[in-house]
Amino acid sequence: MQNFTSWRTWGEARAALPDPAALDDAADAALAWHGDQTRPTGVPYGEHLLEALEAQVRGAGVTDPGVLAATLLHDVVEDTSATVADVEARFGPDVAELVDWVTKPPAGGAGRQAKRAAKAAYLRRLRDAPWRAVQVKLADRISNVQRLDQMPPDFQRRYYAETVTYVMPLAPPDSWYAGWYAEWSRQYAHLR
């Protein structure tokens, strides 16, 4: 299974991109909005964004600047003080719409069950998303699941099931995404 963990800084990613200037503002904004946040694995949040970007560029061969900008910005509304309006003001309606599609709405009720139900509804809603928004979600999840073995065992099983149930069915229009997820699911089949 191909992993996407070689871009740790924007400078490393920038050096590998064919047109980095088109993404400088999105990278700067995403890294500033996320600040010193870290992921559950302990890595800086920015590394997750760069992993998703690397999956798009080196894996799927995506060149669409809107999709790539949204990939860098995909979590800013969900995990920072930024709003969809902030994204639209800075990056335009196209990027804002893509970010909005992949932003999980806050859970309506308290408790673990309410959060899981809200997340399942959000993931089901992605079946109606435009392909470009789905590409952003697929790359986001690639970054998340390529390190699944570093998470607690109960989380691994739940996240594997969620990915197989909701995310993998989104991949088939593109043979690269479909192939990557098929290989990933075989590697983690012990979590069934």
| Residues acting as catalytic residues | 78-79
Buried b (16+ CB within 10 A) or exposed e, 134-170: bbbbbbbbbbbbbbbeebeeeebbebbebbbebbbeb
The CA angle 137-139-145, to the nearest 5 degrees, is: 100
Residue whose entry in the numeric block shows the structure tokens 């490393």: 12
Q: Quick one: tokens of 15? A: 């050096």
* Residue 173 main-chain phi, psi, to 5 deg: -60, -20
